Amino acid sequence: MKKLFLFLMTALFLTACASVDETENMANCKFALRSVELTNYNLTSFDFDVIIAITNMNRKDAASLKRFEGELTANETKMADVKLDEMTIEPNSTKNAKAKLNVPMTAFNSKLLGLISMGSATLDYHLTGTMYFEGPMGSEIPVPVDIGRIGSYN
């Protein structure tokens, strides 16, 4: 019985250590909002591809993102919710994660539509949310993410 207990405690300890390493890897990741690209439009909605660059700064271990939940704003107007699924970012590399968004026309206010129609306006877009990664014993640990970009809409 003591051997079984010792074996279980050792397994739990090793699992916890691995989870702590993964947690540290995600804490060292850098996030950038690469682009927001218009892919399609019609009278009722716009379709966008949002590209988020996730860079794992660790030189040895991969980082495992469980999911991301956030929202995209343009000139401080909420446009859409953004979700990313589970992914692994290899050591010392960058992964471009793509989220497809469908934004109804009702999300655009008259000021924002006016800026787009002028053709020379600059849109500020911003992504805020929470990334979740696996913690000890299967728990999820939330980390806030706040990234933005000032850029032309085209």
- Model pLDDT for residues 60-77, shown as the tens digit of each residue: 888 888 889 999 888 788
Statement: 2-152 belongs to CATH 2.60.40.10? yes
pLDDT in tens, 2-49: 555 454 445 444 454 445 555 555 557 888 888 878 898 888 888 989
Kindly list the domain boundaries of the chain, sorted by start residue.
2-152
Q: Catalogue the long-range contacts made by 111-119 (C-beta closer than 8 Å, 24 or more residues apart).
A: 111/75, 112/74, 112/75, 112/77, 115/75, 115/153, 116/153
Confidence tier at 153 by pLDDT (50, 70, 90): very low
Q: CB 5: neighbour CB atoms within 10 A?
A: 9
Distance (Å, whole) CA 52 – CA 34: 5
pTM above 0.85, yes or no: no
The SS3 call for residue 109 is coil
The SS3 call for residue 141 is strand
